[in-house]
Chain A
């Protein structure tokens, strides 16, 4: 285990171990303070960045922050590392990688070619040397395109997950929120429900309801009930219409065990979903959620900072070729991200790290009522992510998730964002919106009054 030092502000700072150096170089956040990993002072934090900037990238191939023998996520990361893709940057330091990523020669194609050569730890390390502006500028260059019934991630496009949750899973209530979202142009990434009751029969009932609704109106999108992966396997065995298999994942084997999953069960679920043949030829049938702090929460963080572990969760995601991944950045709570400033920074880090590793990275721009944040902070983060080219954002009616008791974006927020930045929905979905009279020819979304809408029958069926 190495030991690194740097002199800053006339004082010598020493960082014992790679994991501690990464933690100390991280922007201040409550989760690292809770774990006892944060830099002792602001000066120590910057000193750690000096030391981190001089580290050769290769060190992350030689030294694991979570032991190889003890953790299958580490084994996955190192065993699937692509040395040929890494070769163009293998001589660089972490600081050198930062400069190269920002250079004009590092265009979309170069970044895409590099992705398999980067490990999550390298990506996390370089993000700690980048300002918010840098995270946006580099992520913006890295488009990741995925496809099921809709094509997501194209230049100039911004997709949304329509999240029509209901505290008792009332199908009529879920249909009402879905209708509201569709009328506002939401749902091109997925119509995805978090069930209040995590049981197989309940999830099957919701899946049938959503699938019938999608078929009836020929909506070019996907549906998903975000139930545990083991439930999804059983649901597929029983023949219910599963487009996407969902699972929350984290960056260590122990934290994944806390979620009740391992790599083998994820592999099994993906194979079962592929066998249904519902998706496109790209085989993108998985949907993952992640969030900084989940490993600490599961007491499985191995003394590693929460942002590095979050990037390792993306290492898990990418091996399963997902259609969608999102961080639930402000959901985990103020003990991990205390306020709007920390949530915004983490949202940009997560998006950057996911994209650089090649993921179709979305964000749940959100906050809880015990965090020091509000809608103004979310306005900021959503706009920054729009500029950064985020794959998709999550929307709920009026920004108020009445089941999970937190605030995400509203359908209106994304209407405004699309207008302000000239971002359009997925092309197949956009054409559908035009056919339904929700979007004008050429793309501007103008939600029609329900009474005059071609979706009025949906309201009658479920009202």
Chain B
């Protein structure tokens, strides 16, 4: 079925208000109910979000875009998607992982999380851009992790002997954006780290979110600060000003 036509914006006084919000305002009605056009648009958005939640990560395709870096693979104890959704504790624990010789200054974990679509689309871009901003760093081979929650990075980072771990993970899809990526940075990763000991950069996507290149700039800044101050989490967040980092006038610490 073809998409139903939207109302003519010239005759719609809601058009100006829609410039201020993506909210589904001024939808009209059919009796008390929504018009069919809106019902189907909503169902399509929900379907895309659900597909993003349940889509498996295409590991081979992700490995290809990480070239020339050869990726390691890791998987959590959540063996399937249903278990993953029900048992976040299993998604935080490592079942198996390829080995690499450390130690490293930092490790990057590309984790499916709740949206493999987000990782597929944006994680490699953030990884490559961050690496360009970290010359001289000893960086572990990138780790592609499946069935992963954020805290899985703690065990992966510890195994690699990395001083910092950055987990690039798919965020819970919303109706408007099914492919938003988040990054969680943890100093001295090891099992048992609390969420308050991490720094987060969220809302990374290309539909009006934080662009991957800017996210990488923020991440590299946080990584340098974290290593020099030997911490991540609340203590680091207090000093860093993400707004200033994201501003277009911001001069990058090193180009």
Contacts and interface: CB of A to CB of B under 8 A. Distances in A.
Interface string B48-92: 011011000000000000000000000000000000011111000
Interface of A: 30, 33-34, 164-167, 170, 172-177, 179-180, 334-335, 338, 368-370, 374-375, 396-400, 402, 405-407, 410, 412, 415-416, 419, 447, 450-451, 456, 459, 462-463
B46 A402 contact: no
A170 B19 CA distance: 11
A399 B25 CA distance: 10
Contact of B13 (A173, A338, A398, A451): A451
Interface string B20-50: 1111111101011110001000110110011
Given A170-B21, A400-B23, A407-B46, A370 B172 contact: yes
**Nearest 7 Cβ contacts at the A-B interface:** A398-B24, A405-B174, A173-B21, A172-B20, A176-B17, A369-B49, A415-B32
Contact of A402 (B14, B22, B53): B22
A400 B44 CA distance: 13
Contact of B26 (A33, A180, A400, A407): A180
A398 B34 contact: yes
Contacts of B33: 412, 416
Nearest to B41: A398
A456 B13 contact: yes
Interface residues of B, number: 39
Contacts of A179: 17, 25
Nearest to A176: B17
A450 B14 contact: yes
Nearest to A371: B85
B175 interface: yes
A369 B20 contact: no
Interface of B: 13-14, 16-27, 29, 31-34, 38, 42-43, 45-46, 49-50, 52-53, 85-89, 114, 172-176
Contacts of B172: 368-370, 405
B27 A398 contact: yes
Contacts of A375: 42-43, 46
Given A334-B85, A375-B46, 7 more contacts: A30-B86, A174-B21, A176-B25, A402-B22, A407-B46, A412-B27, A451-B13
A369 B25 contact: no
A333 B88 CA distance: 11
Most buried by A among B23, B27, B52, B87: B23
22 contacts: A30-B86, A164-B23, A172-B21, A176-B18, A176-B20, A176-B23, A179-B25, A369-B46, A369-B175, A370-B53, A370-B85, A375-B46, A398-B27, A398-B34, A398-B42, A399-B24, A402-B22, A410-B24, A412-B34, A447-B29, A462-B20, A463-B16
A402 B174 contact: yes
Contact of A166 (B13, B23, B27): B23
Nearest to A167: B22
B40 to A, nearest CB: 12
B36 to A, nearest CB: 12
Contacts of B53: 369-370
Contact of B176 (A33, A338, A400, A459): A400
A462 to B, nearest CB: 7
